[in-house]
């Protein structure tokens, strides 16, 4: 399967509880991290939504000059490829992801299985040509009331709240 290369621009927020609105979709995610270089995160993911199971391989390449910009290369893989890579995993995160729509964007809210932690994320995906415009859009995006009502703090630039780091402490 062909890989898809984009730039992921995101903001993350620590929540005290789930929002008091109906989610649009729910997935169960098993995310395994593989050995990687210091500025690269390699992972595989099994994502389950109802009866549909998908498998992905992802590499995230971090930009040391701009913490907002992360290059992401993702491809769908077979269950056989997933199982081979799973045997090489060094850590695992299990979470339930709920999607909430604010009228213009989908918010991903992760409830982590092995810790009392709820993190909301809003992403803007850019290709190489529109990264600057998407960065401006991300930084000027108005947080909806349903997030503000349960917001503890923004954790966008706090490494300890990255999924990769969280997987190491579980």
Q: In angstroms, rounded to a whole number, what is the distance separating the alpha carbons of residues 116 and 56?
A: 26
Q: What is the mean pLDDT of residues 90-109?
A: 95
Give per-residue pLDDT as tens, 132-150: 666 667 777 889 999 999 9
Q: In angstroms, rounded to a whole number, what is the distance separating the alpha carbons of residues 138 and 136?
A: 5
**pLDDT for the residue 36:** 77
Q: What is the CATH number of the domain that holds 46?
A: 2.40.320.10
Contact 111, 93 (CB under 8 A): no
Q: Which domain holds residue 95?
A: 4-169
Q: In angstroms, rounded to a whole number, what is the distance separating the alpha carbons of residues 158 and 164?
A: 12
Give per-residue pLDDT as tens, 34-88: 987 878 889 999 999 999 999 999 998 877 766 556 788 899 999 999 999 999 9
What are the tokens at 52? 């549909």
When the pLDDT of each residue in the chain is averaged and rounded to a whole number, the result is 87
Question: For 22, which DSSP code?
Answer: -
Q: Tell me: pLDDT of 98 over 60.
A: yes
Q: In angstroms, rounded to a whole number, what is the distance separating the alpha carbons of residues 96 and 132?
A: 32
* Band of pLDDT at residue 90, cut at 50, 70 and 90: very high
Count up the domains in the chain and report the number: 1
More confident residue, 167 or 170: 167
CA separation (Å) from 33 to 36, 48, 82, 88, 105?
Answer: 9, 18, 12, 9, 28
CA 157 to mean position of chain CA atoms: 14
């Amino acid at each position: 399967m062909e890989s898809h290369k984009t730039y992921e621009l995101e903001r993350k927020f620590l929540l005290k509880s789930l929002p008091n609105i109906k989610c649009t979709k729910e997935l169960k995610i098993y995310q395994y991290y593989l050995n990687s270089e210091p500025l690269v995160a390699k992972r595989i993911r099994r994502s389950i939504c109802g009866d549909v199971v998908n498998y992905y391989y992802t590499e995230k390449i971090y930009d040391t000059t701009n913490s907002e910009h992360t290059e992401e290369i993702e491809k769908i893989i077979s269950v056989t490829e997933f199982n081979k890579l799973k045997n090489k995993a060094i850590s695992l995160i299990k979470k339930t992801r709920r999607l909430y729509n604010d009228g213009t964007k989908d918010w991903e809210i992760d409830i982590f299985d092995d810790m009392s932690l709820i993190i909301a994320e809003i992403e803007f995906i850019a290709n190489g040509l529109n990264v600057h415009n998407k960065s401006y859009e991300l930084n000027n995006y108005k947080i909806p009331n349903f997030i503000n009502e349960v917001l503890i703090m923004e954790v966008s630039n706090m490494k300890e709240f990255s999924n990769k780091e969280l997987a190491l402490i579980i």
